[in-house]
Amino acid sequence: MTDLFANLQTLRGIGVRRARAFQKMGITTVNDLLTWFPRRYEDRRAVKAIADLVDGESVCVRGFVAAPPVVTRVRDGLDLLQFPVTDHSGVMRVTFFNRLWIKNTLAPGTAYVFYGKAERNLFGSAMSNPVAERADRQEETGRIWPVYSLSAGVSRRMLCQGVRAALRECATTLPDVIPEEVRRSYGLCAAGFAYENIHFPENEAALADARRRLAFEELFLLAVGLRGFRGQREAHPVEAFRDVDMSPFYDALPFTLTDAQRRCIAEALSDMRSGVPMNRLCQGDVGSGKTMVAAACVYHCVRNGRQAALMAPTELLARQHYEGLSALLSPLGVRVALLTGSVSAKEKRAIRRRTGEQDLDFVIGTHALISDGVEFARLGLVVTDEQHRFGVAQRGALAAKGQYPHILVMSATPIPRTLALSVYGDLDVSFLDELPPGRRKIQTYAVSGDYRPRVYRFLEKQMAEGRQIYIVCPMVEEGAEASDDRKAVTEYAYELQNVFPNRRVLSVHGRMKPKDKEAVMSAFAAGDGEVLISTTVIEVGIDVPNASVMVVENAERFGLSQLHQLRGRVGRGKHQSYCILISDSRSEETRRRLRVMVTTSDGFRVAEEDLRLRGPGDFFGERQHGLPPLKIANLADSELLRQAQTAAAELSPERYPLTVRRAAELFSKSGTA
């Protein structure tokens, strides 16, 4: 048997040149080739008579080449090869473009099977560039056929030949990373059968079995790998935090905590007193009070003689955390500092020195916290905000500043519970599913572009009352030039400045330098501008209590979770807030999705609907927050997720080293270990 992770050249038929072509696609090993799964399939089993062909239908025709092929030079660079094909019902004209070599493979009077898109017009039936095989030597017709993603230098035939070679070498002896008892429990087929039928399925049932087994395998290894991260931390006991009097902290709050906040705080403090490093995700809707949960943990940590650190994805967010938390914690004796890229070199040196000498209790910052020069004397707690912006490795880089500190990560992206528990399998999860009393519901409206004049009048009325406005520009189409977002924003800003001549319109776009973006957003947060226009290239992750309206243009181009996140930028102050979704789409699905936004403000309900309609990409982006990319599994399949996680939880690692090793390789290859 060929080693799965051996170079492709170990396979028969793949030499140096082909190996180089495959390498450009990221296929370097036998395993890479076996897991280059088809993106779709063509059912090439149906055979129709020529007289029964339907225009535009992809189908097989069995017929005879009725006359020798004729070559016609249309112009330089375009040659046609044409010939008639007959069966018992009629004649079909077959045309090949720039494939003159096919002429030598066709023999008049011989039966062939042609698969392609049928054309019917006044001149009769035709096919262009079909798959053509002798009827007695069918290989690519008469079956379900895989269609792969390709690149220059790798043809469909070359890829299929490579996959067949890999299957010949490995299919019957593939090591199964899913233990036999797990396969039996969940009704999963064997690895060899799965790989054979995901590439060249015998029938629909075999394809379904193969897909289910391989999807389960990915989710199972993902869960095993994440449990491995958890196990590594739990294997290192730490000094348990002692119980401390939290009443000074609670008394200092200008409001009463919700039951959900108290529950999450209790869960986190229990972790910190357990003697095992906490690894907890605090997940809640925008405005649910995650920061107060973090503040309670920081206070508890500092009262235990340890230091705490909070990492935010942008300087603006870090600064806002610093202003809010230092005002709360400094009067309680907690020494707080802010460390970001814009802090002067002199201040950075002072903060680093004080941190190393434990002259500071709590440092808030950006990625600057994980730079080489930052050392903590007794780091006991690490908090990361906006969890969806950090991967496993970045969390670990900050945690490495201490001796197995407690970790609390916060996310304002509502994620369905099953999905959160599966994807964040290395974390315990606390759900903040209750909003503080007194927060007004954001009134949400979905309107067409015809309403834009009325919308502008409403915006002017809001600004006259002293409020500020967010407007999110249409997204740039995929494949557009990188500068298009700048053009869209600047043109729209110019247009709106004419609509509102007495108002200051600010704008941010993806081509701006980070410091320039932050300067504009800081100005808006300070009230220096009534309107902020942005594209989706950047996150408007700022807290402006005075902003009361969020307008989203071309709302149909956003996922529901994105729209909910944008809506959460308003409603942070005492004023009634509004979200206006503008879309001219007539799609019933778009209307159904926007109706969800209008009828509910519950982020978890929005997330469930988004998962059902669009799948998980909206929550995690292409790389699922630093997790290994999934090639065939769909995180929206909650039942398969649940089964895979249950199986991983019951797995005994010492009994199945191959499974554990393959899970570790999965994370290592993706750069997340």
From CA 126, how far away is CA 81, in angstroms rounded? 13
Tokens of 402: 């201490």
How far, in Å, CA of 392 to CA of 281, rounded? 12
Q: Does residue 460 sit in the same domain as residue 609? A: yes
CA–CA separation, 281 and 263 (whole Å): 13
Q: How far apart are CA 456 and CA 454, in angstroms?
A: 5
For the cut 50, the answer to whether the pLDDT of residue 162 exceeds it is yes
Joined together, the tokens standing for residue 8 give 């492709």
**Which comes out higher in pLDDT, residue 412 or 203?**
203
Give residues with Cβ within 8 angstroms of 619, minimum separation 6.
388, 413, 415, 419, 561, 607, 610, 611
Strands (E), 51-171: 58-65, 70-75, 78-87, 90-97, 111-117, 119-121, 124-128, 131-134, 144-147
Tell me if 38 sits within 8 A of 146, measured CB to CB: yes
Based on the fold, state whether residues 198 and 126 are members of the same structural domain. no
Are 455 and 510 in a shared domain? yes
Q: How many CB atoms lie within 10 A of CB 522?
A: 15
Pick from 58-67, 215-224, 405-414 the range whose average pLDDT is largest.
58-67
Instruction: Give 171 or 334, the one with higher predicted confidence.
Output: 334
Do 29 and 52 sit in the same domain of this protein? no
Tell me: do 477 and 419 sit in the same domain.
Answer: no
Question: What is the pLDDT, as a whole number, of residue 121?
Answer: 84
What are 145's strand-pairing partners? 42
- pLDDT over threshold 80, residue 290: yes
Residue 63 lies in a domain: yes
Query: What is the residue-averaged pLDDT of the chain?
Result: 83
β 111-117/70-75 pair status: unpaired
Q: What is the CATH number of the domain that holds 92?
A: 2.40.50.140
Q: Which residue has the higher pLDDT, 672 or 106?
A: 106
- Total residue count of the chain as it appears in this document: 673
Q: Are residues 384 and 361 in the same domain?
A: yes
Residues 450 and 599 in one domain: yes
Q: What is the mean pLDDT of residues 310-337?
A: 90
Burial class (CB in 10 A: 0-12, 13-18, 19+), 450: exposed
Give the Cα separation of 348 and 82 in Å (integer).
75
Q: What is the pLDDT of residue 623?
A: 38
Percent of the chain scoring above 70 in pLDDT: 86
The amino acid occupying position 329 is: L
- Asked if residue 500 and residue 480 are part of one domain, the reply reads yes
Q: What is the DSSP letter of 178?
A: S
In this prediction, what percent of the chain has a pLDDT beyond 90? 36
Say what the pLDDT of residue 417 is.
62
Number of domains into which the chain is organized: 5
Higher pLDDT, 393 or 583: 583
CA atoms within 13 A on the CB side of 90: 14
Tell me the pLDDT tens digit for each residue of 582-631.
998 888 888 888 998 999 887 777 877 776 665 555 454 433 444 566 78
Residue 468, both tokens: 């500020």
Region 633-652: mean pLDDT is 81
Cα 279–Cα 292–Cα 520 angle in degrees, nearest 5: 100
Least confident segment among 69-73, 172-176, 316-320: 172-176
**pLDDT class of 477 with cuts at 50, 70, 90:** very low
Residue 495 structure tokens: 């247009």
Task: Give the separation between CA 412 and CA 603, rounded to whole angstroms.
Answer: 9
Cα 327 vs. chain centroid, distance in angstroms? 36
Ranges 73-77, 180-184, 455-459: which has the least confidence: 73-77
Q: Look at phi and psi of residue 466 and say left if phi exceeds 0, alpha if psi is from -120 to 50, else beta.
A: left
Say what the pLDDT of residue 456 is: 94
Over 50: is that where the pLDDT of 113 sits? yes
Q: Across residues 569-590, what is the average pLDDT?
A: 88
Q: Are 611 and 462 in contact (CB under 8 A)?
A: no
Which residue has better confidence, 30 or 624? 30
Q: Kindly state whether residues 66 and 163 are assigned to the same domain.
A: no
CA distance 243 to 622: 42
**Is residue 673 in some structural domain?**
no
Q: Are residues 391 and 492 in the same domain?
A: no
Q: What are residue 40's DSSP bridge partners?
A: 147
Structural domain includes residue 149: no
Q: What are phi and psi of 530, to 5 degrees?
A: -95, -25
492, 506 contact by CB (below 8 A): no
Burial class of residue 333 in the structure, from the number of CB atoms within 10 Å of its CB (0-12 exposed, 13-18 middle, 19+ buried): exposed
Cβ(166)–Cβ(33) below 8 Å: yes
Final residue belonging to a domain, choices 383, 413, 432: 432
Phi and psi angles of residue 70, each rounded to the nearest 5 degrees, phi first:
-115, 130
| pLDDT average, residue stretch 59-71 | 91
Max CA separation in the chain (angstroms): 96
**Cβ-based neighbour number of residue 204 at 10 Å:** 11
**263 vs 630 pLDDT, higher one:** 263
Residue 159's domain spans which residues?
A: 1-44+155-173
Distance CA 30, CA 174 (A): 12
